[in-house]
């Protein structure tokens, strides 16, 4: 096991709480010795705090955030937050920009995420997809957010329907309802990064103009679901809703789609409402993992 190096000196001295050596003080400096191993709740307070900080750091992407602001956001004493961040930095879970003192998620998190499978999420969400497919008579699928976009991990197709298989495929973000459901719930800076390359017009209905796309993303967020009218493949129409996690950030997208003659635009409102409800069910199932 690696032994962490001594943390660098930064704003911990300014916190004025050098006596807080065990990380057991809340924002007001009052000791709060909550559940450590063997306690009544079975939770480890310091680990909970570290996880909360890591999630807040991830939510601050792509610019990152200072230890002071992260501490405030998580309701922690600044010195406690700084020590936890410094420890996580030694293990590559977060990275600190030496010029701005802003923290971002480290490479170790990406490495662990790439090693993780989706079996648990698929197992808990497959019943929701099956119910949606049976109720609509169309294909329902689930895509997960990964570093460079979205990848489809599960799909349920009505037995009498022949349809394209999307499992394992990545979605063009600007030309699918799946991709637009992700983009609509991301900060503008992240959208710009994901759409840095020229937008390909796959069909004559693909929105390849960035101004029009931004306007559509704003409408998408307002109504709660995205739509696609033959923008990736001319005959495929569908709707999608984001599966939201911490701070309303999408970690997956649930979609309902089919050929134009069975999924005309007139069905979009009803299918969109159904997709939103199903996405909420998947989110609840994921929290139970």
Selected residue with higher pLDDT from 273 and 27? 273
Please report which confidence band the pLDDT of residue 273 belongs to, taking 50, 70 and 90 as the band edges.
Answer: very high
Report how far residue 137's alpha carbon sits from residue 237's, in angstroms, rounded to the nearest whole number. 14
pLDDT surpassing 60 at residue 87: yes
- pLDDT at residue number 78: 93
- pLDDT at residue number 35: 40
Instruction: Bin 16: left if φ > 0, else alpha if -120 < ψ < 50, else beta.
Output: left
pTM value is 0.65
Please report which confidence band the pLDDT of residue 289 belongs to, taking 50, 70 and 90 as the band edges.
Answer: low
Selected residue with higher pLDDT from 39 and 51? 51
Report how far residue 263's alpha carbon sits from residue 268's, in angstroms, rounded to the nearest whole number. 8
- pLDDT at residue number 43: 74
**pLDDT, tens digit, 9 for 90 and up, residues 222-268:** 999 999 999 999 999 999 999 998 778 899 999 999 999 999 999 99
pLDDT surpassing 50 at residue 34: no
Interacting residues of 200 by C-beta distance below 8 A, sequence separation 6+: 172, 175, 206, 208
Two structure tokens written together for 226: 């995205």
Report how far residue 156's alpha carbon sits from residue 134's, in angstroms, rounded to the nearest whole number. 9
Q: What are phi and psi of 207, to 5 degrees?
A: -85, 100
DSSP letter string over 189-227? Answer: HHHHHHT-SPPP--STT----HHHHHHHHHHHHHHT-EE
Interacting residues of 124 by C-beta distance below 8 A, sequence separation 6+: 282, 285, 286, 288, 289
How is residue 265 annotated by DSSP? G
**pLDDT, tens digit, 9 for 90 and up, residues 164-206:** 566 667 778 999 999 999 999 999 998 998 999 999 999 999 9
pLDDT, mean of residues 16-24: 40
Preceding omega of 62 cis (within 30 degrees of 0): yes
- pLDDT at residue number 164: 54
- pLDDT at residue number 246: 75
Q: Which residue has the tokens 């109720």?
A: 135
Q: Rounded to a whole number, what is the distance in angstroms from the first to the last CA of the chain?
A: 28
Report how far residue 98's alpha carbon sits from residue 285's, in angstroms, rounded to the nearest whole number. 40
User: 152 has which bridge partners?
Assistant: 143
Q: Are 182 and 242 in contact (CB under 8 A)?
A: yes
pLDDT surpassing 60 at residue 37: no
Rg of the chain taking only CA atoms, in angstroms: 22
Two structure tokens written together for 153: 């991990």
**Dihedral sign computed on CA atoms, order 58, 64, 67, 71:** negative
**pLDDT, tens digit, 9 for 90 and up, residues 108-167:** 876 676 555 688 888 999 999 999 999 999 999 999 988 778 888 899 988 766 555 666
DSSP letter string over 132-176? Answer: HHHHHSSEEEEEEEETTEEEEEEEE--TT------TTPBPPGGGS
Percent of the chain that is helix, strand, coil (3-state, to 5): 45, 20, 40
pLDDT surpassing 90 at residue 74: yes
Say what angle helices 67-74 and 78-90 make with each other, to 10 degrees. 120
- pLDDT at residue number 288: 75
Report the range out of 24-28, 117-121, 148-152, 276-280 with the highest average pLDDT.
276-280
- pLDDT at residue number 114: 57
Average pLDDT, the chain: 83
pLDDT, mean of residues 63-81: 93
- pLDDT at residue number 214: 96
């Amino acid at each position: 096991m690696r032994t962490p190096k001594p943390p660098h000196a930064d704003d911990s001295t300014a916190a004025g709480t050098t006596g807080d050596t065990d990380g057991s003080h809340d924002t007001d400096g009052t000791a709060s010795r909550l559940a450590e191993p063997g306690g009544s709740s079975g939770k480890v307070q310091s680990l909970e705090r570290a996880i909360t900080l890591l999630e807040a750091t991830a939510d601050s992407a792509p610019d990152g955030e200072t230890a002071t602001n992260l501490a405030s956001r998580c309701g922690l004493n600044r010195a406690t937050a700084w020590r936890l961040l410094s420890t996580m930095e030694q293990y590559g879970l977060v990275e600190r920009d030496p010029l701005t003192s802003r923290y971002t998620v480290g490479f170790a998190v990406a490495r662990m995420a790439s090693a993780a499978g989706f079996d648990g999420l698929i197992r808990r969400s497959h019943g929701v997809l099956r119910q949606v497919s049976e109720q609509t008579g169309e294909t329902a699928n689930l895509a997960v957010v990964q570093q460079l976009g979205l990848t489809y991990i599960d799909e349920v197709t009505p037995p009498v329907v022949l349809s394209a298989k999307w499992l394992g495929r990545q979605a063009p973000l600007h030309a699918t309802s799946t991709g637009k459901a992700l983009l609509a719930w991301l900060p503008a800076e992240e959208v710009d990064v994901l759409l840095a390359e020229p937008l390909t017009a796959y069909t004559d209905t693909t929105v390849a103009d960035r101004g029009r796309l931004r306007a559509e993303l704003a409408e998408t967020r307002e109504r709660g679901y995205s739509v696609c009218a033959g923008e990736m493949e001319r005959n495929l129409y569908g709707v999608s809703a984001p599966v939201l996690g911490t701070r309303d950030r999408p970690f997956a997208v649930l979609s309902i789609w089919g050929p134009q003659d069975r999924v005309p635009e007139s069905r979009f409102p009803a299918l969109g409402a159904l997709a939103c409800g199903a996405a909420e069910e998947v989110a609840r199932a994921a929290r139970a993992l």
